[in-house]
Structure 1
Amino acid sequence: MSALNVEQARFNMVEQQVRPWDVLDFRVLDTLRAVRREDFVPQALRAQAFSDVMLPIGHGQVMMPPVVEGRMLQALAVQPGEQVLEIGTGTGFTAACLAHMGGQVTSVDIFPAFIEAARARLPGVTLATGDASAGWDDGKRYDVIAITGAMAEVPESYRLKLNDGGRLFVIVGEAPIMQALLITREGEDSWACESLFETCLPHLIHAEPKPDFTF
């Protein structure tokens, strides 16, 4: 696409896809305009960078559709200086958006290839490789946790990693209908859970539903 067509496609993504899906936070809309999504899409799929679809990125993983990214960013409402943990780096686009909103981002992925490819795209983001399907034990609490792949259920360890007032975004359940949840820590032993919308994403590795056993 020409530079003009890219900017028109970006405008259309924000104004015709994301905003109509009740994403009205100007900071989120500005972030989606500013972070060059096409730079985070696999080269063969750059023409689809602004399409309202999941894009495959390898290893059975996907980039979330822009509308889901927008709703997630709006729900998490990252404030400058907040400590942010992302589980599922992928191409790095979501981490870049979280950082653009002012978060101090740590991003984790189970696939070393994703982390290595993301390093050049994510200056200022702390990157780590590991299996975080059951939690991420780095001894820290966070203001924001974004889990960018689906999970069969939310590990208790992620609730406990939130600071008071901290927010956790996660998609739970099984295909074809999953729930996007926002979990907010209201005190040392108190959490609120809000169901945001229905969607469907591939599960994080090792976070898939366990098969039922029959005898």
Structure 2
Amino acid sequence: MNLEKARFNMIEQQVRPWNVSDERVRQLLAEVPREAFAPAKYRDLAFADIELPLLDDETLARQRGQVMLPPRVQARLLQELRLQGGERVLHVGTGSGYMAALLGRQAASVFTIEIDNAIAAFAQANLQRAGAGNVQVLAGDAAQTAPLPQGPFDAIVLSGSVARAPQHLIAQLAPGGRLLAITGDEPVMRATLVQLQGEGVRLTQPWDCDAPRLMNFPDTPVFHF
């Protein structure tokens, strides 16, 4: 496989047409080698427009939200955050570490939390090889309500879906901070951006997107009649 040609095609045929107009984001995807973060058995699919499982059991990986999201989704999330370089960022759902590596190139510091210890170790090794010195991997459950001692954060992004924007994570935002998550239930999910503005909160849902559920976050209640 011609890696550079595959990377170019990923950016021009998947990412750019998905309204990723920020040249900085597209350049990051050209510079950070996605294939270096993919599990060995899926490396040839690193540039495909699909979710890559991080477990041998592909069905279980999607049920637990333990996948690499498609490159166009990761690029669009990164664009929506509009990082300027000085932010302290929390990333939920480390996975392979690729999204955290991208964030680390646009922020001052990134704390990325992963619930699965083996996947956290895989991500840590990938990030070390990539020289992502401002990214710290935390093993833990971001669905727990206790505030993280590394906060508050200027930006929080979730690599996976939740039923609704988690209030306990919004509470860990610094003044003027923003949280970006994919919320809702299949088949209708939307990117949801929560921004703190003075004493209030601004919520926008700029685009539709489907993603596997992150573990342990509460689901939408089911009503029975």
Q: TM-score, normalised by structure 1?
A: 0.92
> Quick one: distance in 2 between partners of 1:147 and 1:184?
15
2:27 paired residue among 25, 30, 41: 30
| Cα drift, residue 90 of structure 1 | 0.3
1:63 paired residue among 62, 68, 74: 68
- What's 1:44 paired with? 41
- What's 1:90 paired with? 95
Q: Deviations over 1:94-153 (max 9, x none)?
A: 000000123400000110011111112224211111111244622421111011111112
2:155 paired residue among 144, 158, 166: 144
2:197 aligned with 1:200, yes or no? no
Matched-pair identity in %: 41
Runs of 4+, deviation exceeding 4 Å: none
- What's 1:175 paired with? 186
> Quick one: distance in 1 between partners of 2:223 and 2:202?
33
Amino acid at match of 2:4: E
**Structure 2, unaligned stretches of length 5 or more?**
none
Residues 136 and 108 of structure 1, relative CA distance in 2, 3 Å threshold: farther
Q: Deviations over 1:43-83 (max 9, x none)?
A: 11111111111111125221111111111000001221210
Aligned residues: 211
Which secondary structure state, in structure 2, belongs to the residue aligned with residue 122 of structure 1? Answer: helix
Residues 118 and 202 of structure 1, relative CA distance in 2, 3 Å threshold: same
Amino acid at match of 1:157: H
CA contact (8 A) 1:82 1:103 kept: yes
Which secondary structure state, in structure 2, belongs to the residue aligned with residue 120 of structure 1? Answer: helix
Residues 210 and 25 of structure 1, relative CA distance in 2, 3 Å threshold: closer
Amino acid at match of 1:202: P
Q: TM-score, normalised by structure 2?
A: 0.88
| Cα drift, residue 198 of structure 1 | 1.1
